[in-house]
């Protein structure tokens, strides 16, 4: 009898997987195509800005334009937080206008020199597209939530070329300390299909290399079963602490700047104008344009790619990028925080490696994923991202750096709508009073 029930159960599961596959294919194709268009435009405006540095002078005016557009777009200004809120508690849905709004605003931000990323745009477009399809499909709340998660996974996986990390990110980012396993297969399928679709348009992602291989190094010949260097592991632990603190610093600074700007500048369109002026002033004070834009591969100086090389970053490159990005994002410009977090982490890793005589490329890679893990409370997704981007030879170091950074970032985070499911103080999930207190402190 149990065997018969089991067979019927597998049939039901198979039917459900086919059902979700049919729902996801159109969403993934559209999301992957939208991300491909976005990345193509981003390369175009980035090259244009490099060729015409004077465009930076128009950043304050670009900020005013973005502010006006989002006032017309109503609640679209909530960005990633709106998508996360809608997954937690489905309501009116994510407006369709969010996709073109965030696409145009991000392109404008990068054209005129704002220090922003691209993950926010991809995730918001994926959320907007999946919300539209859920209305067409007339899905129930629970299915709508899963399809929204698929939209997030599709956008993230396609924009970075990391489909497995994209799937885990969409499930992990919703609640700190808990993963929404109900979206396991749908999110993975959506992320893979969107990434394949994006690549089919000829979009190429930046390749990063870590030449250091942990398996080729050991100082413990008497313990041949060790696949890592113990002294290096201690340095990675220390680095993880620093990466977590950097993520914490970024989150706190962004929240503080946003709160201060809203408190002291009553005219809303003046906030991005002032932010643009501050970015221009900072650029002239430092005498360089290398902290503008994405910073992935900058021909004018320090970049994420150069951070993987000895001498590829200045000692305080990570701090300047942190400040420029915090001002850009917190004053209303669009794009997201993740790619700048990659820059911050990679350059901080470069600095730490030089100070403690560690492999520069390894620590740049560790900082790349660990600062992101700390700022978003997604250590599992970031560990898998390390494998997808850099290979799996140094997996132990990826995991240690990301997990340590996750704890040392505290209960802060760049997504205000991310819920606290499990405290990092190792409290039980049933301690609702303490969790509520931490959540209130986080929001304030």
Q: How far is CA 254 from the centre of its chain?
A: 15
Residues whose CB is less than 8 angstroms from the CB of residue 330 and which lie 6 or more positions away in sequence, other chains included: 253, 254, 255, 257, 258, 261, 275
Please state the domain extents for the chain.
2-200, 214-413
Helices H, strands E: what count in the chain?
16, 2
Supply the pLDDT for residue 323: 97
> In 314-343, which positions are buried (b, 16+ CB within 10 angstroms) versus exposed (e)?
beebbbbbbbbbbbbbbbbbbbbbbbbbbb
Vertex 415: Cα angle to 159 and 435 (nearest 5): 140
Spatial CA neighbour of 194 closest among 160, 168, 155, 162 = 155
Which pTM was predicted? Answer: 0.91
Residues of the chain with pLDDT under 70: 1-7, 73-78, 92-93, 214-228, 300, 425-444
pLDDT at 224: 56
pLDDT for 209: 87
Say yes or no: domain 214-413 is CATH 1.10.3080.10.
yes
d(CA 112, CA 55): 5
Same fold flag, 2-200 and 214-413: yes
Q: Does domain 2-200 have CATH number 3.40.50.720?
A: no
| pLDDT score, position 437 | 59
∠ CA 97-188-387, nearest 5°, is: 110
């Amino acid at each position: 009898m149990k065997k018969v029930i089991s067979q019927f159960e597998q049939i039901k599961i198979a039917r459900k997987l086919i059902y979700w596959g049919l729902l996801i294919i159109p969403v993934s194709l559209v999301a992957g195509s939208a991300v491909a268009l976005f990345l193509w435009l981003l390369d175009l405006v980035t090259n244009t800005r490099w060729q015409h540095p004077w465009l930076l002078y128009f950043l304050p005016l670009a900020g005013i334009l973005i502010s006006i557009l989002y006032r017309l777009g109503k609640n679209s200004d909530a960005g990633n937080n709106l998508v996360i809120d809608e997954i937690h508690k489905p309501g009116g849905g994510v407006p369709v206008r969010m996709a073109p709004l965030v696409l145009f605003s991000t392109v404008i931000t990068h054209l005129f020199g704002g220090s922003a990323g691209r993950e926010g745009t991809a995730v918001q477009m994926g959320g907007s597209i999946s919300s539209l399809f859920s209305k067409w499909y007339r899905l129930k709340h629970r299915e709508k939530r899963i399809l929204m998660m698929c939209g997030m996974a599709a956008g993230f996986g396609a924009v970075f070329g990391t489909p497995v990390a994209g799937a885990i990110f969409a499930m992990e980012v919703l609640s700190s300390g808990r993963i929404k396993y109900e979206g396991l297969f749908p999110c993975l399928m959506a992320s893979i299909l969107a990434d394949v679709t994006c690549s089919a348009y000829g979009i190429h992602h930046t390749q990063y290399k870590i030449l250091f291989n942990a398996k080729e190094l050991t100082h413990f010949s008497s313990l041949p079963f060790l696949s890592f260097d113990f002294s290096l592991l201690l340095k990675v632990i220390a680095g993880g602490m620093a990466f977590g603190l950097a993520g914490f610093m970024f989150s706190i600074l962004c929240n503080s700047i946003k709160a201060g700007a809203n408190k002291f500048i009553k005219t809303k369109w003046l906030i991005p104008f002032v932010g643009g002026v501050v970015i221009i002033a900072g650029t002239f004070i430092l005498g360089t344009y290398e902290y503008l834009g994405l910073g992935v591969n900058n021909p004018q100086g320090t970049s994420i790619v150069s951070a993987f090389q000895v001498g590829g970053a200045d000692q305080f490159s990570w701090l300047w990028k942190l400040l420029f990005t915090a001002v850009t994002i917190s004053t209303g410009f669009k794009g997201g925080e993740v790619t700048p977090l990659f820059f911050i982490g990679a350059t901080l890793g470069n600095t730490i490696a030089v100070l403690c005589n560690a492999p520069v490329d390894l620590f740049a890679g560790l900082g790349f994923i660990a600062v992101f893990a700390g700022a978003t409370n997604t250590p599992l997704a970031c560990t898998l991202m390390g494998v997808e981007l850099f290979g799996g030879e140094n997996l132990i170091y990826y995991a240690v750096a990301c997990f340590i950074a996750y704890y040392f970032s505290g209960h802060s985070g760049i997504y205000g709508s991310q819920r606290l499911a499990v405290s990092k103080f190792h409290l039980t999930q049933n301690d609702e009073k303490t969790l509520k207190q931490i959540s209130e402190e986080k929001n304030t």
